[in-house]
Amino acid sequence: MTADDSKSGREPALQDDAVRAEAGENGGELREIEHLVADAPASVRAGAEVIRDFWKTLPNSPGVYRMIDAFGDVLYVGKARNLKKRVANYVRGIGHGGNRTMRMIAETAAMEFVTTQTETEALLLEANLIKQLRPRYNVLLRDDKSFPYILITGDHPAPQLVKHRGARTRKGNYYGPFANAGAVTRTVNALQRAFLLRTCSDSYYENRTRPCLLFQIKRCSAPCTGEISLEDYGHLVDEARGFLSGRSTAVKEMLAREMQAASDALEFERAARYRDRLAALSAVQTTQDINPQGVEEADVFALDEQAGQFCVQVFFFRNHQNWGNRAYFPKADRSMPPEEVLTSFIAQFYDDKPCPRLVLVSHDLPERELLVEALSARAGHRVEIAAPKRGEKRDLVAHAAQNAREALGRRLADTSSQRKLLAAVGEAFGLAAPPRRIEVYDNSHISGTNAVGAMIVAGPDGFMKSHYRTFNIRSQELTPGDDYGMMREVMHRRFSRLLKEAPRQAAPAPQAECAEDEPFPTWPDLVLIDGGKGQLEAARQVLADLGITDVPLVGVAKGADRDAGRETFVIPGREPFRLPPRDPALYFIQRLRDEAHRFAIGTHRAKRKRDIARNPLDEIVGIGPARKRALLHHFGTAKAVSRASLEDLQRVPGINAATARLVYDFFHETDVR
């Protein structure tokens, strides 16, 4: 660029004649792009110039592209049937919508591309990358936990009834998905009473010598000790499978006949058992409030939009039964049409979940056929996507849409209240603006044992549980129970890592309101320390040593007699103070403090439980599950193994001389001269 060009603000020609000749038929397109870019703001022109440099060498093939900012963060992931034509749209500024696209182009400093064989492969790869990279300009599926299932195992003579979450790699029959773990637990408990199937682990089953308590309270038939034959137990398993597969009426009728036959034979205790099983089955069915007769297997998606925010309500129907629903609140630009939000949501939703044969949606999707092809390829069977207009299926979609509207209305009300509370907290502590990210720190231990530190995070959307962190206290130099030392370790580990992963930028000017699409901040606007002056000073020293001086710190000291409402707040440079007893900000801080307590204590208890249950045999290098099982079967307990002689260890089936020596040396100190 010449000096005259720089002074006049003109950009150089986008392409020289040689490149135009190479582009061939795209010459007219290039002239149009040059004209549009010349009229754009300087930041957009700079971003368009970057995109244009990549555009020159792109192929006319399907693929996925990533737009990246100057810090290396991915701004947007998109798929295209023709990469060259799709990327050219961004240079024109017509990617997906006005201001959003302009901001995206202006922030683009680099691009990356992956070509695929088909557009279907591009759609699947796009959904995968969005979930991994979480670009700020894409539709983001915020809650992405796996769904729980009921599993009747198929790898044991006496199948087990369990709750299952995650990859479905274990042999057996899976039923679900259920909307939440609570629904699975309630259903499993009812199925235990109805079919008397075991829920214990295989190792527990193998080591029983007498029936456990579940047999006594009539929730298990105790095949482990032969109280029921494996053949009769198999009949119970078949009944459970039939009920969960949709043949509930036939199973209930069979049980009713058996109950009547037992009653006629004057076997009233057996008739009472059938009666209790029938009551348990009725309890399972009453939890399924909508059981469509014409829909055996389907997922229903309904989207609602209010005030620039979206809610997608998902209902699960399997075997003519409703297995519950869940509301999602995807992050998407308010300028995006609902159909596009729903398409992107569904593609991400089934990235790691099995897809049913029928998907019902509330909107006509613009890329329905492409999505059908992608989901069918992933599922291994034909998938149908439909937006029904009449009949029972339409009623299901309308019911889901109503739930979406109500859920989004509640969320908007909660968000409004949350923002007011954040503003009140900012005012109470003298902050320049309402905090968008609050971090609360607490420690938990018993006389210094199993010590853990915990961090919870809250923001405009409430508790951000995906941002919670725990810290196992590692320092060997700490005196057991040294709360100040533990706080120093937690704060140093947290903020030294934060400095490496997200270097502190110059603090922006405080703003009362943030843009809707502004990402959730990485750095806290306020740090609350559960404790008084000592804990607060320990945290302040750590931040000062790291060169961090602009993060507000507040200590929350318990009141007299540890009464809620009498907390004292400690801020460096200010006298300790209290908030009025009925101040909403005080109640909000108490909720934050209590959540930090809950998370820290729960983490500590889980760690303590693991330590209590830890078997010494787990620490012996070379002793795997099979040898561990053989030792325990032979000796009964780990303590008996530790007392065994070398000769006794060598007599255990599956334990050779070398392994026996390994186990013996672990429990007995030997002199090495």
pLDDT tens, residue by residue, 110-137: 898 988 888 888 888 888 888 888 888 8
Comparing C-alpha atoms, which of 336, 337, 334, 315 is closest to residue 324?
A: 315
* pLDDT for position 245: 72
| Domain of residue 387, residue span | 297-410
Please give the angle made by the CA atoms of 294, 296 and 299, to the nearest 5 degrees. Answer: 105
* pLDDT for position 506: 47
Q: Is residue 28 part of a domain?
A: no
The H or E element spanning position 86 is: helix 83-92
* pLDDT for position 309: 85
Is the pLDDT confidence value at 25 over 60?
Answer: no
Comparing C-alpha atoms, which of 258, 267, 198 is closest to residue 234?
A: 198
Handedness of CA 152, 154, 160, 164 (dihedral sign): negative
Tell me which of 13-17, 341-345, 376-380 is least confident: 13-17
Q: Which residues make Cβ contacts (< 8 Å) with residue 581, sequence separation at least 6? A: 565
Q: Is residue 139 part of a domain?
A: no
CB neighbour class for 132 (10 Å; exposed up to 12, middle 13-18, buried from 19): exposed
CB neighbour class for 288 (10 Å; exposed up to 12, middle 13-18, buried from 19): middle
Whether residue 341 sits in one domain with residue 371 = yes
Q: Is residue 11 part of a domain?
A: no
Long-range contacts, 342-347 (Cβ 8 Å, 24+): 342/301, 342/303, 342/312, 343/367, 343/371, 344/127, 344/130, 344/138, 344/139, 345/139, 345/141, 345/301, 345/303, 345/312, 346/301, 346/371, 346/375, 346/385, 347/123, 347/124, 347/126, 347/127, 347/371, 347/374
* pLDDT for position 508: 46
Enter the tokens of residue 275: 């009666």
Is the pLDDT confidence value at 3 over 70?
Answer: no
Number of domains forming the structure of the chain: 5
Whether residue 496 sits in one domain with residue 351 = no
pLDDT band at 1 (very low <50, low <70, confident <90, very high): very low
Whether residue 191 sits in one domain with residue 107 = no
Whether residue 337 sits in one domain with residue 262 = no
DSSP class of residue 353 equals S
CATH of the domain at 388: 3.30.420.340
Report in angstroms the alpha-carbon separations of 268 from 227, 273, 278. Answer: 20, 9, 15
Average pLDDT, the chain: 80
Whether residue 76 sits in one domain with residue 208 = no
Sheet holding 161-165, edge to edge: 161-165, 148-153, 172-175
Is the pLDDT confidence value at 37 over 70?
Answer: no
Residue whose pair of structure tokens reads 């561990």 in the numeric block: 628
Final residue of a structural domain among 253, 286, 319 = 286
* pLDDT for position 144: 59
pLDDT tens readout for residues 179-212: 767 767 777 877 787 788 898 888 888 888 888 8
Whether residue 188 sits in one domain with residue 102 = no
Whether residue 566 sits in one domain with residue 451 = yes
* pLDDT for position 635: 82
Residue whose pair of structure tokens reads 């810090």 in the numeric block: 71
Q: Is residue 327 part of a domain?
A: yes
Between 328 and 294, the higher pLDDT residue: 328
Between 432 and 254, the higher pLDDT residue: 432
* pLDDT for position 6: 39
Residues of the chain with pLDDT > 90, as a percent, come to 19
Is the pLDDT confidence value at 66 over 80?
Answer: yes
Q: Is residue 101 part of a domain?
A: yes
Backbone angles phi, psi at 466, to 5 degrees: -70, -15
Is the pLDDT confidence value at 161 over 60?
Answer: yes
- Alpha carbons 602 and 526: distance in angstroms, whole number: 24
pTM: 0.65
Enter the tokens of residue 182: 């609570």
Final residue of a structural domain among 79, 110, 133 = 133
Under DSSP, is residue 390 helix (H, G, I), strand (E, B) or coil? coil
DSSP class of residue 331 equals B
The H or E element spanning position 170 is: none
CATH of the domain at 655: 1.10.150.20
Under DSSP, is residue 364 helix (H, G, I), strand (E, B) or coil? coil
Whether residue 549 sits in one domain with residue 632 = no
Between 219 and 402, the higher pLDDT residue: 402
pLDDT tens readout for residues 230-273: 998 998 888 888 777 766 666 677 777 777 887 777 877 777 77
**CB atoms < 10 A from the CB of 434, how many?**
22
Q: Is residue 420 part of a domain?
A: no
Which residues make beta-bridge pairs with 469? 455
* pLDDT for position 565: 62
The residue-averaged pLDDT of 630-646 equals 82
* pLDDT for position 20: 43
DSSP string, 561-572: GG-TT--EEE-T
Comparing C-alpha atoms, which of 210, 217, 225 is closest to residue 158?
A: 225
pLDDT tens readout for residues 443-459: 888 776 778 899 999 99
Enter the tokens of residue 40: 């754009």
* pLDDT for position 437: 94
The H or E element spanning position 643 is: helix 638-643
Please provide the size of the chain in residues.
673
Whether residue 314 sits in one domain with residue 235 = no
Whether residue 642 sits in one domain with residue 548 = no
* pLDDT for position 201: 87
Burial letters 538-551, b for 16+ CB under 10 A, else e: bbbebbeeeebeeb
Whether residue 76 sits in one domain with residue 187 = no
Comparing C-alpha atoms, which of 137, 153, 125, 11 is closest to residue 68?
A: 137
The residue-averaged pLDDT of 631-651 equals 83
Q: Is residue 31 part of a domain?
A: no
Enter the tokens of residue 459: 């923001």
* pLDDT for position 301: 95
Type of residue at 45: R
pLDDT tens readout for residues 296-324: 788 999 999 988 889 999 998 877 777 77
**CB atoms < 10 A from the CB of 598, how many?**
13
Backbone angles phi, psi at 655, to 5 degrees: -110, 115
pLDDT band at 483 (very low <50, low <70, confident <90, very high): confident
The residue-averaged pLDDT of 279-287 equals 57
- Alpha carbons 382 and 369: distance in angstroms, whole number: 12
Alpha helices in 287-380 (DSSP H): 338-349, 368-379
CATH of the domain at 72: 3.40.1440.10
Q: Is residue 586 part of a domain?
A: yes
**CB atoms < 10 A from the CB of 165, how many?**
16
Is the pLDDT confidence value at 566 over 60?
Answer: yes
* pLDDT for position 457: 94
Final residue of a structural domain among 133, 167, 198 = 133
Residues of the chain with pLDDT > 70, as a percent, come to 83
Enter the tokens of residue 121: 């492969």
CA 317 from chain centre, in angstroms, equals 22
Which residues make beta-bridge pairs with 570? 555
Whether residue 123 sits in one domain with residue 93 = yes
* pLDDT for position 336: 85
Residue whose pair of structure tokens reads 């420690």 in the numeric block: 443
